[in-house]
Structure 1
Amino acid sequence: MAPSLASTPTASVETKVDRRVAQSPGDAEDTEAMAAMAHRRRRLPGIPQFLSAAAQRQWQLEHMAGAFRVFAREGYAEGISGHISVRDPEHEDRFWINPLGVHFGLMKASDMICVNLAGEVVGGNMEGSINAAGFQIHSSVHKARRDVHAICHTHSVHGRAYSAFAKPLEMINQDVCYFYKAHAVREKIAESLGDGKACILMNHGLLTVGQTVDEAAFLFCLMERSCKVQMLADSTGHKKHFVSDAEAAYNFRMASTPSALYTEFQPHYQLEEALANPPFKQ
């Protein structure tokens, strides 16, 4: 049955996608970015749309669990720290979050817990508990940003190391331009995030957001690697060449749209689907 807001989901259901509107319409820049990704081929499908909230909810939870499997493979698990949340597609004041004490590599769709912005458990895995600090972080961002549907935060190694410098990432390569003028460094997360995509939490780690969990998860992986690349470049002592503002702005416009970032994550998700043991679509 599909995940209910009143019961624990017990099995995966076939995702009902309306193929007539499978491509998320987005804005002109999103459309342009998606068209540019595949040379002389049909445009990539992008974010699917659904015939029901129940189908979308199940799809979101499966992709949420898949994102945790990716994070486990990347080595982001650290004790009981780290969380991903996804806003419920039917109830704007509710979001799904992972249970406390379950390893990222074992996470399943049915493990997720639905809470409202007041902190009350209202659906999903009614037997689980959630990280109190995690609830404060995710609820504050969901309240402040109605456009944000997914949030990722873990205690990844390079993110934690770079956060000690309390400075934004430098535009030293094409990939980090996905964060051009779209990330902040602060302690007050929701305020600092503004309308951006990411935040470096001082002496803490990284946080990313997106319109899908796929977007937020891809950005988190990219930001973690960008922190590593920056520290590697800094460690050489050589003079760095920076991407120009014009080039960085172009890369950001063409590659950092919701549909493009969703698409970027799909190879990672597909690998987890193929290797999943135990399965996560349960």
Structure 2
Amino acid sequence: MNEQVADVVRAHHALAVAGQDDMVWGHVSIRDRAGRGIWMKAAGWGFEEVEPDRVLLVSWDGEVLEGEGKRHIEYPIHTGVMAVRSDVDCVIHTHATAASAFASLEVPIRAINHDGVLFTEPDIPRFTRTGSLIRTQELGESLAETLGDARACLIPQHGLVAVGTDVAHAVMHAVLLDRACGIQLTAMAAGGPKRWSDPAEVALKTAECWPPSQIEAGWNYLARKTRR
């Protein structure tokens, strides 16, 4: 099996067990090593249903070059980001519940626990130009501009986008962002938060808690969980 196709399958399954599936909506892409475009699942399938024969190679212009099925309308999210981020090989878009709820509040993410340190100092960007579908190249480019060099961004009224140098980093960024939003929502419901990591501790915890080895450990755990 094509290794990139296998990674697309594994990423969707990992996000499903992490609770970021939304029936048949949301998608993961991986940059084609030959430069032809992106590998992503075909439209109409849930994350847990993705198998190798449900993965497409989509060109930078949205043409299906390999595979059977229709491409997702929002492929410009992926092509837009990858066009300007040479460091990114994987892009994720989900409608994660906690992140979607938190995005509506217009408050900064606080590093209340380990999960939040990756998305503060500076605060996570928010794409506010539209909360509707990102279906044009121009909107994809605009989202990429908002994302900048961040690990992820929130899209109020819509969901999240997370990126990574590989599938492990992108999946973990999506998972950690949703968890960080969830714990802050809990703290806010209880009348807080009152304490969170300052910039110095954020830098320390980013290095100590989220080096590549720990990103891989989290990713491997999710991968094992999909096989249970």
The normalised TM-score by structure 2 is 0.86
CA displacement at 1:259 relative to structure 2: 5.2
For 1:133-188, what per-residue CA distance to the aligned partner results, in whole angstroms no more than 9, with x for missing partners? x2121111111211110011111211111111134311212221122336311234
Structure 1, gaps ≥5 residues long? 1-11, 13-57, 276-282
Distance (Å, rounded) in 2 between the aligned partners of 1:77 and 1:251: 29
Are 1:170 and 2:110 matched, yes or no? yes
1:238-277 to 2 correspondences below 5 Å: 238-258=192-212, 260-272=214-226, 274-275=227-228
Letter in 1 for 2:20: Y
Letter in 1 for 2:72: N
Corresponding residue for 1:82? Answer: 26
Distance (Å, rounded) in 2 between the aligned partners of 1:215 and 1:170: 21
Corresponding residue for 1:45? Answer: none
Are 1:230 and 2:184 matched, yes or no? yes
1:145-156 to 2 correspondences below 5 Å: 145-156=85-96
Corresponding residue for 1:203? Answer: 157
Distance (Å, rounded) in 2 between the aligned partners of 1:196 and 1:81: 24
Corresponding residue for 1:181? Answer: 121
Distance (Å, rounded) in 1 between the aligned partners of 2:152 and 2:26: 15
CA displacement at 1:72 relative to structure 2: 2.1
The alignment of Structure 1 onto Structure 2 pairs a total of residues equal to 214
Q: Select the structure of larger CA radius of gyration.
A: 1
Q: Is the 8 A contact 1:189 1:201 kept in 2?
A: no
Q: Is the 8 A contact 1:100 1:129 kept in 2?
A: yes
Alignment RMSD: 1.9
Change (3 A) 1:203 1:231: same
Q: Is the 8 A contact 1:166 1:185 kept in 2?
A: no
Corresponding residue for 2:63? Answer: 120
Letter in 1 for 2:196: F
Are 1:70 and 2:24 matched, yes or no? no
Corresponding residue for 1:218? Answer: 172
For 1:189-212, what per-residue CA distance to the aligned partner results, in whole angstroms no more than 9, with x for missing partners? 211111110001122111100011
Structure 2, gaps ≥5 residues long? 129-141
For 1:76-129, what per-residue CA distance to the aligned partner results, in whole angstroms no more than 9, with x for missing partners? 2223320100001222x4110111001111111232111121112222x1x211
Distance (Å, rounded) in 2 between the aligned partners of 1:99 and 1:235: 38
SS at structure 2 position matched to 1:185: coil
Corresponding residue for 2:82? Answer: 142
Letter in 1 for 2:64: V
